[in-house]
Each structure stands twice: as structure tokens, then as C-alpha cells.
Amino acid sequence: MFGSRVSYIAWIWWVLDKTNSPAATAMMGIAAALPSLILGPIAGAYVDRMDRRKVMLWADLINALIFASAAYLLFTDMLQVWQAYLFAAASATALAFHRPALQSSIPNLVPEEQLTKANSMYQISRGLCGIVGLSLGGVLVGFIGVAPTLWLDAFTFAVAGASLLLVSIASPKTGQVENWRIILQDTASGFRFLFSRKSLLYLVLLFALINFLLAPMGVLFSLMSKNVFQTGSEGFGALNAAISVGVLLGGFLTAFLKKFRRQGLWILLGLLATGVLLTLFAMSTSLAFALVVLAVVGVFVAVINVLESVIFQSRVPNELQGRVFAAQFAVCDGLQPISLGLIGGILMYVSTPTVLIVSGIAVIIAALAGFAVRGLTEL
């Protein structure tokens, strides 16, 4: 996670600096989102039939190779923007297998009553990696350039893969993959499970809408840093790191509280607060104020993520979790390419702060609409 946060800053800033185009920068997000949409459900079916530890191991090692190759091309001044898109898509393809394998492995490592604490610890680690990685990413890009930054990410993926050789993670005992018909049947079963649990389905659809609204944040943050705060890549890294500080604090908060009743209600309240805070961020011209606001956003993001994970991990049979999580990711991420495709054209006519204000208000409306969905607040 540390290296990924570093390279996130490197990729976004390199494309923006190379093209000076919000649309071209948004294409990085599209390239990273499409594999989850297209391959995610199938990946989940494979995850439920394979050793999940090995899935994560190979995904990490493949990503190490991907980023090492990108760093080499950049170091030799041969990397083109279209190649950066391909590298982003290839990395996201490996991640499409890694994400459901990781999420479905957590219930095999801790008892159900410890799921909130376990997911809180995961958010804490994300927060720590984000604080250091995003802050360091902005500094590294500014001082040593993008190529060494990508080399660092390749190294961290290799270390992550090697560390998985030292642990044992239980996986469901299922049959091996025999043909595509079985894979397609397994893939469809993940979606059938969601459609048979209406409250879970409504929660997934709500997150799909929220992700549609928030998908361009990376592009918008880079433009706020460059044009509003005028702080360059260091400021861009600081904005993202501020959210990670909040994620860290939110992880500790959920771990301390341990038990949330009516988790769906808390998710809606968190989304409501997030929309208000994004609106305040959009109206800010002070970097210091913006960093404080984004840190509070991070707290709510951590709480929302922990509660969402616990809801699914405690309500989905473990032998189905890989495909259900993959179906969830596909639906939640499915609208992101459309959002990122639209943002480049929108920014030609509308200012970055205005787009952020509209996004914040839309998140507020979406959260309020969630209160009208029967069963959602009772999860």
C-alpha cells in the first residue's frame, strides 16, 4: 500500500505535467477502473476456487514487474502517455484479483466478533501508508523525479509478495476450475446473491453512485493544488496525505468503539458529513484549512469503509465471498470510467471548485435518499 500511494502521485503528476490536460489525466483513472468492471466478477469466481494467498502473491509479483518495466521506460526517456495508460490497466488487472482475495481472507483470520477490529486495523495500516506514501510521493516527484518513484513502488510490491511466503491463510475447499461454464456460473452466483439481499444491493448501488461522484477527485485535487493553492506536486501529495491522516484516526476510532449497531445508519451519516466537508473544501483558498477539512473527510471514509466491510463479511458465506466482493467492486466501480470520461470535458467549461461543490451537494442528496430505502438503516 505504501508504494502504491507513492506511485499514485507520480503517475497523476507525470501525465498532468506531460500533457497539461485534465482529460488526459482523467484517462489514467479510466484505464485503472476498466479492468475491475470487466474482469472483476470473473476474478472473484477464480478467487473462490483457488488458494487466496497464492492469488495475492502472484498479483503482487506481477505488479512489481509492471512498475519496474514502467520505471525503466521512463528512466530511458521512452515512456509515452499511451503506454502509461496500458501500465495502469495492467496493474489494475492484477488488483482485480488481489482485492477480493484480500477482503475474503480477513474472516478466515479472525472470529466474527473481531471483524470490526480487524477491518479497523486494515484502515489504520492504509492511513499510515497513505500519510507517509502520499507525502513522500509529492516530495520524491519534486526532487528526484518520477522514474525513481516507480522503482520504489516495484520494490514494495516485491516485498509484499515475498512476505506472503511467510504466512498461511485458509481458503475454502472447492473444486478446481474445469471449464468456462463453471466460472460463468460462479460469477453469476455472486450477482444472484446480491439481488437476493435487497438491503445489500441498495447499499452497493448507493456506493456506485457515490463512487461516480467522487471518482474524479484525484484529477480535481491535482488541479486545486496547481491552480488554486499553487503548491505543485508537494501540495498534491499533502492533500491526499491529509485524507490518510483522517483514515488513520478513523481506524483507531472504529477499533476503540469496537461495536457499531445499525451500521447502515452510520454509513449514511458518514456520507452526509463527507458531502458537507467536500463542499467546504471546494470553497477554500487556504491550503491549511483544506488539509484540516480533508483530514476530517478521511475519518468518515475510514468509518464508512470499516462498516461496509463488516456488513458484507458477516452476512456473506465465506465460500461465496470472493465472487460477491468482486461483484460488489464491479458494480461500485462500474460508473467510474463514465465519470472520469466526462470530467475532462466538464472542466473545459466549469471551474474546478464549482465541480467540487456540485459533487459535494450531490453526495449529500444521495445520502439523504438512502434514508428512504427500507432496511438500509437497519443493517
| Rounded Cα distance, 323 and 333, in Å | 15
Question: What structural domains and CATH numbers belong to the chain?
Answer: 2-378 (1.20.1250.20)
Residues with Cβ < 8 Å from 47, sequence gap 6 or more? 55, 97, 100, 101, 104, 322, 323, 326
pLDDT of residue 365: 94
- Write down the residue that cell numbers 439523504 correspond to: 368
Distance (Å, whole) CA 275 – CA 214: 10
Among all chains, which residue has been given the C-alpha cell 475491475? 36
For 282-319, b/e burial (b = at least 16 CB within 10 A) is bebeebeebbbbbbbbbbbbbbbbbbbbbbbbeebeee
Calpha distance 41→323 (Å, rounded):
6
CA angle 87, 294, 211 (to 5 degrees): 50
pLDDT of 179 reads 64
Q: How far apart are CA 56 and CA 102, in angstroms?
A: 7
379 residues of the chain, pLDDT tens digit each? 555 666 666 787 788 888 888 888 888 878 887 887 788 778 888 787 788 888 899 999 999 999 999 999 988 888 899 999 999 899 889 988 888 888 888 887 777 777 777 777 776 776 566 555 555 666 666 666 777 778 888 888 999 899 988 888 777 665 555 566 777 787 888 888 888 888 888 888 888 888 888 888 888 988 899 889 988 777 887 887 888 888 888 888 888 776 667 888 999 999 999 999 999 999 999 999 999 999 999 999 888 988 888 888 888 887 788 888 878 877 887 777 888 788 888 988 999 999 999 999 999 999 999 888 888 887 7
Distances (CA, A) of 130 to 207, 221, 254, 281: 22, 15, 18, 19
Contact 334, 191 (CB under 8 A): no
* Distance separating alpha carbons of residues 46 and 50, to the nearest angstrom: 6
pLDDT of residue 31: 85
Structure confidence at residue 350 (pLDDT): 92
- What's residue 12's pLDDT? 77
pLDDT at 287: 92
- How far apart CA 24 and CA 126 sit, in angstroms, is 28
Could you give the 3-state DSSP secondary structure of residue 177? Answer: coil
Q: H-type helices in the chain, by residue range?
A: 2-19, 22-47, 52-75, 81-109, 115-143, 146-163, 180-196, 198-214, 217-223, 232-257, 263-282, 287-315, 318-333, 336-346, 352-370
Nearest Cα neighbor of 33 from 218, 197, 188 is 218
C-alpha cell at 1: 500500500
Give me the pLDDT at residue 42, please.
82
Chain-centroid distance, C-alpha 150: 19
Say how far apart CA 5 and CA 25 lie, in whole Å.
17
**Nearest residue to 326 (alpha-carbon basis) of 226, 183, 202:** 183
**How crowded is residue 133: how many other Cβ atoms within 10 Å of its Cβ?**
28
